[in-house]
């Protein structure tokens, strides 16, 4: 079976409006490795990543949110962010030649918000399997517990009197 792909056309006002980008899913092995390295980087940066979330790899990043990477040392973050852009190609003539794609060059994206949108689209493409509500709920609870949520039950038995 082929890797998943999507075409993202920028609709926001600005210099990138109308530009189209073709995003291709990483291999399963590369995706898993990327997620694990991202979570390890978070831990090195001082984030408390619960075991339940750590075991989710890339999906764990979805639970914690991409913004969790923003506070990390740039030397840890840059390679991860660069790898996300390896999934993206540019469609220079999306109407006239819709199947024509090429590697990104720096000037293809002129707005920071476009870069952020494309990163989010890369992440969404890789975590669409993470739609099982029970699994998502379990991961969110693990994060809440690690953050010291006071309304998380700790025991189902009665307290001694």
Q: Rg for the chain (alpha carbons), in Å?
A: 19
Q: In tens digits, what is the pLDDT along the chain, a chain of 161 residues?
A: 789 999 999 999 999 999 999 999 999 899 888 888 888 887 787 777 777 776 666 666 666 666 666 677 788 888 988 999 999 999 999 999 999 999 999 999 999 999 999 998 998 888 775 555 555 565 556 555 555 544 444 444 444 44
In this prediction the pTM is: 0.71
């Amino acid at each position: 079976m082929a890797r998943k792909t999507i075409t993202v056309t920028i609709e926001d006002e600005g210099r990138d409006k109308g530009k189209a980008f073709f995003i291709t899913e990483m291999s399963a092995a590369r995706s898993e490795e990327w997620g694990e390295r991202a979570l390890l980087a978070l831990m090195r940066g001082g984030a408390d990543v619960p075991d339940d979330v750590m075991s989710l790899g890339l999906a764990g990043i979805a639970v914690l949110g991409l913004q969790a990477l923003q506070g990390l040392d740039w030397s840890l973050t840059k390679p991860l962010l660069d790898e996300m852009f390896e999934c993206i190609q540019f469609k220079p003539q999306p109407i006239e030649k819709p199947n024509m794609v090429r590697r990104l060059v720096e000037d293809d994206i002129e707005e920071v918000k476009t870069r952020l949108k494309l990163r989010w689209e890369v992440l969404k493409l890789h975590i669409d399997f993470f739609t099982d509500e029970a699994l998502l709920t379990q991961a969110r609870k693990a994060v809440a517990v690690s953050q010291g949520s006071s309304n998380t039950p700790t025991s189902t038995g009665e307290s001694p009197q």
